[in-house]
Amino acid sequence: MAKKVVATLKKADAGKAYTKIIKSVKSPKTGAYTFREEIVPADQVQEFLASNK
């Protein structure tokens, strides 16, 4: 799946403007950590990391 995403982003040289972020999120129910992966525009990285999604 990752290869497909990367290939799609490279089509119009737009892939350079995006960043893949992997954020660990603690579950309030179980206390276990899960990982959330998302591809966001490079200028919105700090906003995404600051948010509690």
Domain assignment present for 31: yes
State residue 8's pLDDT score. 59
State residue 1's pLDDT score. 47
State residue 48's pLDDT score. 83
The reported pTM is: 0.53
Averaged in consecutive runs of 10 residues, what is the pLDDT profile of the chain (53 residues)? Answer: 55 70 90 91 86 66
Closest C-alpha to 35, from 46, 48, 51, 21: 21
Tally the domains of the chain: 1
Domain that holds residue 24: 16-53
State residue 49's pLDDT score. 81
Q: Do the Cβ atoms of 14 and 37 come closer than 8 Å? A: no
Q: Do the Cβ atoms of 40 and 48 come closer than 8 Å? A: yes
Closest C-alpha to 37, from 27, 22, 48: 22
